[in-house]
Amino acid sequence: MKLGEARIAVLAENQYQELELWYPVLRFREGGADVIVVGPNATRMYSSKLGIPVVSDVAAAALGPEDIDVLVIPGGFAPEAMRKSADMIGLVRKVNDGGGIVAAICHAGWVLASAGIAKGRQLTCVPVIRDDVLAAGAEYIDKPVVRDGNLITSRLPNDVPVFCAEIIRAVSELDGHRGSGATWPAPGPRASAVYDVPARLVQAPAGRATANYTTTSALVGS
């Protein structure tokens, strides 16, 4: 398959790492791929660590994993929130089990562990979560990019160029789309890196008289 024919989904949550989300989105769009941003909820704004907003195109629960050729999981602190979403973890697991390409960078190793797909696999990640992926049964390899079959992993933002290059090589080995595209969003506007003001994280109690809280994203000044 040519890159321009691929359907690529990139996961998003609050406190994502900017380069690890937008570099793949823009690089693969440059190559002609149809790239969407997927969150726990559709059309919800998520803030990066530096306040760059992204609005999700579709909710994870609305996607058929068989229609995703590549699933990219950025790092930052977003994976900590992603692993709390059963829909997002379920999508990662199903794409992997169906033979789709799963690409994770930096702290996204947490998502692989929570999805139960790290066990017995060779992978890399940001060194600070090395013990977590080892505990999940993975073999940790300290290299800029590691590929184990359909699983591609990298360590840090500086590794994004080789991370994307390896994803493109993996796409070139696909015979064609993995599904009919029945659940894939219709052609139209997709998530954009263009924004007028930064976003900020807003924390609020999860309910009355509780110490638990929820985190949402809002534009500065709103």
Query: Which CATH number do you get for residue 132?
Result: 3.40.50.880
Please state the φ and ψ torsions of residue 158, each to the nearest 5 degrees. -65, -20
Q: How many distinct structural domains can be found in the chain?
A: 1
Asked whether residue 201 is assigned to any structural domain, the reply reads no
Asked whether residue 135 is assigned to any structural domain, the reply reads yes
Asked whether residue 204 is assigned to any structural domain, the reply reads no
**Residue 208 pLDDT:** 87
Q: For residue 24, what are the contacts with CB-CB under 8 A and spacing of at least 6? A: 8, 10, 35, 72, 74, 103, 160, 163, 164, 167
Asked whether residue 95 is assigned to any structural domain, the reply reads yes
**Residue 17 pLDDT:** 98
- Of the listed ranges 128-142, 187-201, 203-217, the least confidently predicted one is 203-217
Asked whether residue 208 is assigned to any structural domain, the reply reads no
Domain that holds residue 114: 3-184
Asked whether residue 210 is assigned to any structural domain, the reply reads no
Q: Taking residues 15-31, what's their average pLDDT? A: 98
> Alpha-carbon distance 133 to 121, whole Å?
10
Confidence of residue 206 (pLDDT cuts 50, 70, 90): confident
Annotated catalytic residue within 7, 27, 93, 107 = 107
CA distances from 30 to 24, 27, 34, 35, 195 (A): 10, 5, 10, 10, 20
Confidence of residue 204 (pLDDT cuts 50, 70, 90): confident
Q: Taking residues 96-122, what's their average pLDDT? A: 98
pLDDT at 222 over 80: no
Q: pLDDT by residue (tens digit) across 142-191?
A: 999 999 999 999 999 999 999 999 999 999 999 999 999 999 999 999 99
**Residue 214 pLDDT:** 86
**Residue 166 pLDDT:** 98
- Per the listing, tokens 């599904």 go with 179
Asked whether residue 190 is assigned to any structural domain, the reply reads no
Question: Catalytic annotation on 177?
Answer: no
Look at residue 98 and give its three-state secondary structure. coil
The b/e string for 195-214 (b: 16+ C-beta within 10 A; e otherwise) is eeeebeeeeeeeeeeeeeee
Asked whether residue 179 is assigned to any structural domain, the reply reads yes
Cβ pair 207, 129 in contact under 8 A: no
